[in-house]
Structure formats: C-alpha cells, structure tokens
Structure 1
C-alpha cells in the first residue's frame, strides 16, 4: 500500500512529512550523498483474496467501562456496511468545511472521495493550495488509518514528491461505537521515500503510536452550529529514523469533539516544537 503526496509551496502537512523536510536539509547538504538503496521492508500485513490489506494479528486494545449509555442510531445511511461508524459518516461525496488557526489562518474542505467494500479515501484541500489524502481500512465499523498522521506542523517545500509505504499496523484509529470511558490505540509503521526533481533525497522509517480515550459529552458551539459532542483526547508519538542513522521523536497532544451523525466539529492540539492549532467546523454536507 503506497500513499503519494505532492507538495507545492506546502505549509501544513503531517508531522512525518514535516520531519522529512527537516531531515532533507541534513541529508542533501554539500558533501553528503543521498541514499540510493531503499531499505528492505519486513511487512507484517497479509493480502486477502480480494487484495485488501489486513492488520497484523496483534489484537487491538479497547477497554470499556462497566456501564455505558445507549445512544440512538445516527440519521441516514452509510456508504459501506464495513465502514458504518456513527462518529465518522463514511459516505461518498460527504464534505466538511473547516477553519484552521495555526501559525496563520486557513480554511480547508475535507471530503470522502472514494468508498470501497472495506475502506475509503478522504481528502483535505486547503485554500492555500495544499492537498492531503488519507487512506482508511474498515473492519466492522472500526476505522484503521493507513496514512502517516493528522494535519499538524508547519513546513515550506518546493516541488517534492513523497511516497509512503505501509509496513505494519495494529489496532484502530476510530472504534466502531465510541462510549465515554473507552480507551483504544493504533500503531503503524511506514517507510517513506522523498524525491526532488526525480532524485531520491531522503528515506525514512516512521513508527506512529496513537493512544486515545473517550471522555464525556459536552455542548460545543462552532460556526456550523451547536452540537452535543463526545470529547476524545489523544496522545501521538512519532519516531522517525533516517537511512543514515539519525532518529527523531515528536509528541503531539490533541482533543477532538465528535458529534454523532456529523463527525469532527472541533479539534485543538499541539505538536512538540510548534504553535498550538485549532480546527472548527464551518459547514458540512452529507448525501
């Protein structure tokens, strides 16, 4: 599974890509040759008869409280039974407009651009011109994120292409039915290769660990309206190794508010070494 990023004067991308940009300065400095032989991956994924990636057999962690509330089903239908998730409606053509306040203010539109029997692809298109695509796998409503990280960090780059290959995964990013007190995790390992004008300039191996907890319901008001939303807190740890032996670690803390049948209505967080960010829902359209 490969994910491709095209970066043209890109200002906000995932921390792994941002880290690759910082490493680029070191690896492409005069007198140092960029690596020419990519590392040999040791995948722990299997391919089913239909060609879909399956997570490694390590079971995900999900702890439930003794008593959980019973919630009504979300309105409307879903694009794929395997992707039925009440807090992230997976419907082809669904769009959410957000405002991002980071180092500067920007807006972006998140949309579901592809839905299959066992997965989907979402896309963020920023007013400033950057585009991010995320690939997901679905298992009975559990949503598994197969792309290096959320929108955070800040880099400036020219015409650079980065190919990211999934090496292994365990756990999931969104449980099938979130409830207060629930905890879960996801651990993914990626290999990245960045090229500039056709030449390999940096190769990386990144391990991303998500540890999340559903807290409680709160009333949240954003430009799109007022929502009864579930507060979810997450800690994310990125460890990136470069082919020449350098290792970098980055921590991120975030809080999201998720509305049933709508999706994310607000998110605040901070990546280590960067200013805090806030994302708020401006409007949304669900087919």
Structure 2
C-alpha cells in the first residue's frame, strides 16, 4: 500500500515535468488537501511584444510577466507562472502552487520557436516542495513545444527522455520518462474564463508516456495516454487547458495576468 502511494507520487512528479509546454499539472504530495480557490481580480495590462529569438505571438516572453491560474480536477489548486529571466536565446519560467510546490524550467528559443526541456539548457527542470525534490536532465530530445507561427491544420511534435532522481521524504528513486506530444492546431475559438473573454488558438495534443522508476533495485514501469486541449491568445499566453486520461481529468483556467511592456 505504501509502495503504491509512493509510486503514484513519483508518477505525478514526472508527469508535471513532461507537460510543461501543454499541461502544467502540479505534482501531488501524499498529504495534499484541496485548496478552495477564491476569485482573483483580473489585472489587464497592455501586452508588450517580446523581441529577439524568444518573440512568440502566443507567449509573451518578458521578464516580470505573470499569469494566475486555477486548477480543478482530482486536486484543486492555484498557481502563479512568472518569467524570471530572458537571455538572447533562452528564458526561465517558474510556477508557484498554492500547495507550496515550486517548479522551475529553462526554455530555448530559435526564431520564435520555443522549446522546453531542451538538453542544451543543462538541468532541464526541477520541482521543489517541503518533502519533495525532483531534478531531471533531458538525455534525448527532438521537436518543439510552441511554434513561432500557428495556423489551423498545422502540426508539430516534441519527444524527449528525462532521467534523474526524485527524492521524497528522504527516499531517492532513479526515474526515467520517455514521452511524445503530438499537437494539431484546430483554429481560433472564443473562450470565456475568469480573466475575461478571449479569441484564442486551440490546439489539441495527445501525449504518450513510458515511465520507469526503480525501487528496491526493481524497475516499475507504467504507460500513460493523456489528451489535452489548449487555448492560447495572442499577446496574452495560455488561457485554458483541459486534459482527459485515467485519473488525470482536469481543467486549468486563467484568472489574472500582468504583462509589462517590452523594454
């Protein structure tokens, strides 16, 4: 029973790193209590367009840009996403969840094509909370996370292998995750969320994952298949994501945002 609980925690931890570009699902701790989400006033600041290699119409890459989201599903939560730093060919973002979890990741940029979990960035991503530390390196990689231009009917994909160690309450467990995300742009749709009503590009992304963790010198493997629908608005970013899959049905919605003008 204890092994099954720990295994579920590890799966959710690695899942959160696999879906940075499409489904920012938080890792789940053993003692997580659902958070009551209170309404957060929308902060509508004139959006600034990022420039250089990281300029993407569907994700303003500007230092200090913040987005507030609420998560509904098996575990309700809130999180704030912030662009921490921007370099000529990369940027770093951070998610801080209401449950105390912090996730940080470095993205690479190439003519507006944005890629999470790129091995060139060193440590690909990390998750930290009171009793959990997760650090992963991308050992194999191909594709992009968010293209520079998206038109209805466009397709793109990203595949990667993440390897590293998850430490939960002092237990170190080697973990490997191989995943593939295949996205198809559907078209512009009008989406209403707590932050307002937006005309947003919808793209659907089936995700397949093969996760292996080693406990007591024995590998434990599981396969997951998850479907996500994502809506991104120009000059704003992610508006809404819905995911479906066994035990992973959830919705993420924008409740507030603040995007500084690009310097």
Q: Shorter-chain TM-score category?
A: 0.7 to 0.9
Cα pair 1:234 1:255 within 8 Å, conserved: yes
3-state SS of 1:179 partner: coil
Q: Which residue of 2 aligns with 1:256?
A: 230
Q: Distance in 2 between matches of 1:160 and 1:126?
A: 14
TM-score by length of 1: 0.68
3-state SS of 2:56 partner: coil
Structure 1 residues without counterparts, runs of 5 or longer? 1-8, 23-73, 152-156
Alignment of 1:17-56 (within 5 A): none
3-state SS of 1:82 partner: helix
Match among 172, 177, 202 for residue 144 of structure 2: 172
Structure 2 residues without counterparts, runs of 5 or longer? 1-8, 19-26, 29-45, 119-123
Alignment of 1:199-278 (within 5 A): 201-243=172-214, 244-270=218-244, 272-278=245-251
Q: Distance in 1 between matches of 2:142 and 2:219?
A: 25
- Alignment RMSD: 3.0
**Relative to structure 1, is the Cα distance of residues 209 and 275 closer, same or farther in structure 2, using a 3 angstrom cutoff?**
closer
**Relative to structure 1, is the Cα distance of residues 233 and 247 closer, same or farther in structure 2, using a 3 angstrom cutoff?**
same
Question: In the TM superposition, what is the alpha-carbon distance from 1:233 to its structure 2 partner?
Answer: 0.3
3-state SS of 1:246 partner: strand
1:15 aligns with 2:15: yes
Match among 113, 117, 121 for residue 88 of structure 2: 117
Q: Which has the higher contact order (CA 8 A, sep 6+)?
A: 1
**Relative to structure 1, is the Cα distance of residues 160 and 279 closer, same or farther in structure 2, using a 3 angstrom cutoff?**
closer
Answer with 85-94 or 102-111: which moved more. 102-111
Largest Rg, 1 or 2: 1
TM-score by length of 2: 0.74
Cα pair 1:191 1:205 within 8 Å, conserved: yes
Alignment of 1:67-146 (within 5 A): 76-78=48-50, 80-146=51-117
Q: How many residues align?
A: 217
Q: Distance in 2 between matches of 1:158 and 1:134?
A: 19
Q: Which residue of 2 aligns with 1:162?
A: 134
**Relative to structure 1, is the Cα distance of residues 239 and 89 closer, same or farther in structure 2, using a 3 angstrom cutoff?**
same
Q: Which residue of 2 aligns with 1:28?
A: none
Deviations 1:42-98 (A, max 9, x none): xxxxxxxxxxxxxxxxxxxxxxxxxxxxxxxx96331x5111100011110000011
**Relative to structure 1, is the Cα distance of residues 260 and 204 closer, same or farther in structure 2, using a 3 angstrom cutoff?**
same
Deviations 1:230-258 (A, max 9, x none): 11100111112235443221111100111
Question: In the TM superposition, what is the alpha-carbon distance from 1:198 to its structure 2 partner?
Answer: 5.9
